[in-house]
Structure 1
Amino acid sequence: MKKLSVLFAAIMMVVSVGMVKAQKSATLNVAAVLNAMPEKTKADADLKAFIDTKQTEIKKKGDAGQLKVKQYQEEASKKTAEENKAREAELQKLQEEIAQMQDKAMKDSQAKQDALYEPIEKKLQAAIEKVAKANTIDFVLDYNSSTLLYKNGPDITADVKKELGLK
């Protein structure tokens, strides 16, 4: 019985080592591939322009609010308490509008980023899958990932760039 247990354990070790060796893994420098893609460069520029436009709108509204604050402070002593109270309410409303603009700009920027990068991510994923299947690779790990578990596999960055027609 003891010999059978030892034999079984030896067979299991051989089988498990064979299974580990059968799995191929590779690393991919995702950042390098993305930075080489012209679509990503264009998306980055489009997103920056969109964000800059939103920031300009918010700044313009904020500057107008600052002018009103200054004007109201200068004229406060010449106005009645009711007028000053109405002005304070107007300034409060303006401040709320600016906060709402900032929130909306953040949400719009995130939506724009998602819309711009989704097709790029899909294209990259398709290229990774095609290269991995062609090279019978079971696992592809991001070379730059902080959770990288295995880094001795072949680096397929050049093959993915070639698949995407990049240099």
Structure 2
Amino acid sequence: MKKLSVLFAAVMMVVSVGMAKAQKIATLDVIGVLNAMPEKKKADTDLKAFLDAKQAEIKKKADAGQAKLKQYTEEAPKKTAEENKAREAELGKMQEEIQQMNEKAQKDFAAKQEAAYEPIEKKLNDAVSKVAKANGYEYVMDANSSAFLFRSGPDATPAVKKELGIQ
């Protein structure tokens, strides 16, 4: 059984190498290109500012809740059971509000991130398509992929960066 699986792996390797030689394949440093795009840098800055603002808002609410918890804990022995129960409910409601704010901030961030990156991805994909057609590449693969065991052949990264007008 072990020999059969080794034989199968060897056959698949030979077949895939044969197919790769028959087709023109290029690699592309997608992360490098994206990080060099000014649009991505601006989107990252805007998203960080948005996230920082949301986190500050949540922290302010959480700090207010902590202060109230401390105050209520100190005053609890002097209050009636009914008052303490009402205060407990109020703290529970505050905690729930903070959780909801957190969830809403995550959803808002994801939506804003998607909206910000969509045109950037489209621009990159258009440039890759244009470069691939111009150079006759049938496949352009991400050079950062861990699926590569061996990498050879043309690198489309410089051509895509040139198409995008970045260094």
Instruction: Establish whether TM, by shorter chain, passes 0.5.
Output: yes
Aligned equivalent of 2:40: 40
What does the per-residue CA deviation read over 1:137-166, in whole Å, with 9 as the maximum and x for residues that have no partner? 001111111123662120010000000001
Aligned equivalent of 1:85: 85
Distance 2:21 2:92 in 1: 68
Superposed displacement of residue 68, structure 1: 0.4
Partner amino acid for 1:91? L
Percent identity between the aligned chains? 70
What does the per-residue CA deviation read over 1:57-113, in whole Å, with 9 as the maximum and x for residues that have no partner? 000000000010011011111111100000000000000000111111111111111
Distance 1:103 1:157 in 2: 38
CA distance 1:77–1:128, shift in 2 (3 Å): same
> Contact 1:26–1:154 (CA<8 Å) still a contact in 2?
yes
Aligned equivalent of 1:50: 50
Superposed displacement of residue 21, structure 1: 3.8
Distance 1:105 1:20 in 2: 46
Runs of 4+ residues over 3 Å off in structure 1: 17-22
Superposed displacement of residue 19, structure 1: 6.7
Larger radius of gyration: 1
Query: TM-score by structure 1 length?
Result: 0.86
CA distance 1:18–1:45, shift in 2 (3 Å): closer
Superposed displacement of residue 20, structure 1: 5.3
Consecutive unaligned residues of structure 1, counting only runs of 5 or more, are 1-16
CA distance 1:149–1:141, shift in 2 (3 Å): farther
CA distance 1:117–1:43, shift in 2 (3 Å): same
CA distance 1:85–1:150, shift in 2 (3 Å): same
Partner amino acid for 2:94? L
Total equivalences in the alignment: 151
Partner amino acid for 2:132? A
> Contact 1:142–1:148 (CA<8 Å) still a contact in 2?
no
| 3-state SS, counterpart of residue 59 of structure 1 | helix
> Contact 1:141–1:148 (CA<8 Å) still a contact in 2?
no
Consecutive unaligned residues of structure 2, counting only runs of 5 or more, are 1-16
